[in-house]
Chain A
Amino acid sequence: MKHNKRGVSPIIATILLIAIVVVLTLIIFLWARGFVAERGEKFGRAVELSCTDVVFESGIFLTGQDAQGQDEYTLDIINRGNVPIYGLIVKSIDRGRVEITKEIFGNTISIGEAETIPLENEVSAGEKILIVPIILGESGSSKASYTCEDETGYLLTV
């Protein structure tokens, strides 16, 4: 039985291996870069870090009663910090239950600005609500909203 012992030369093998390594590295790098870019940025750093710089004061105000005799409230917000607030999430907090009552998007409260937002039959007297800020970050070339953690929120009792 005759064996053919000829193979690729050591130089070709080296070039092939280097090429494979370079291509693999490029693929991993591009994949990882995409992963990093998908994380939102704000002011040149991770968007979640900007959440800790959001400073706002909030209050609830009884404006009157509707035709059915139900209390009507408005949510007052003042942005006292240096980060614009893109939106808000109002969460109702009860024993063993947290429920999103209202989501307010695109109504940016610029730095130093005050806003009043009507809450129509969405809250009731004695209820505890948590106001969680949403900020706008950048993901690649597009803008993306980011909802901050509950710890940065403002707890109110109606």
Chain B
Amino acid sequence: MIGYVLLIVIAVALSIMVFAYLKLYLPKNEPQCYEDVAIALDDITCENGRIDFNIVNRGLFTVDGAYIRVGQEGRVFKKTLNEDSLFFGNNVLLPGVVWESPIYEYPDGAAGGNFELEVQPIVFIENKPALCENAVAKQKITCSTLQSS
């Protein structure tokens, strides 16, 4: 009798411990961007420290938002232009649709020079935003300074 009690208690205790330990190592479905998300940049204008462009959704999924960054050519650090408005709101970017950006102020480009514009899409998966690290659209741009007459 004692033998049974001992065996059952030890088995239950061990099972609980193994379950708690393994639960930590089981893969969980964290939000991950879909593979077929793709965007392209088009019609970019950079003049007098102002940038505007179009984003074309060339993928198979709706894009909900994007990090729009610009920085010196050849440099990793880039300034985020749309920190306050990362998402497109109700006007999500459907496949094949073109989004016309507002005019962003970029004072560093006012003096002209070569820069790089990049857009990293964000999609909502199970109501959680997921950044698409493999779908970053990059474009080298030359900012010009127009002399006012």
Residues in chain A within 8 A of chain B (CB atoms): 14, 17-18, 21-22, 25, 28-29, 32-33, 36, 39, 41, 43-46, 49, 53, 55, 57-59, 61, 74, 76-78, 80-82, 111-116
Q: Is the CB of A80 within 8 A of B133?
A: yes
CB distance from A49 to the nearest CB of B (A): 7
B32: chain A residues at CB < 8 Å are 82
Q: B78 → chain A, closest Cβ, in Å?
A: 5
A82 near B77 (CB under 8 angstroms)? no
**By DSSP majority rule, is chain B's interface helix, strand, loop, or mixed?**
mixed
Binding site for A on B (CB under 8 A): 1-2, 5-6, 9-10, 13, 16-17, 20-21, 24-28, 30-32, 67, 69, 71, 75-80, 86, 120, 122, 130-131, 133, 136
- Bound together, the chains give a CA A40 to CA B2 distance in angstroms of 38
In the complex with contacts A14-B1, A18-B2, A55-B133, A77-B17 CB distance below 8 A? no
Asked whether A111 lies within 8 Å of B78 as measured between CB atoms, the reply is: no
Pick the residue among B2, B17, B27, B131 that contacts A81 (CB under 8 A). B131
For the complex, what is the distance from the CA of A23 to the CA of B77, rounded to whole Å? Answer: 59
Closest to A26 in B: B13
Write the nearest CB–CB distance from A133 to chain B, whole angstroms.
Answer: 14
Shortest CB–CB separation between residue B23 and chain A, in angstroms?
8
Q: Which of B20, B67, B77, B136 contacts A36 (CB 8 A)?
A: B20
Chain B residue nearest to A57 in the complex (CB):
B76
Task: Tell me whether A76 and B131 are in contact (CB under 8 A).
Answer: no
B6 & A43 in contact (Cβ 8 Å cutoff)? no
Contact B78 A114 (CB under 8 A): yes
CB atoms of B25 and A45 under 8 A apart: yes
> Closest CB-CB distance, A17 to chain B, in whole Å?
5
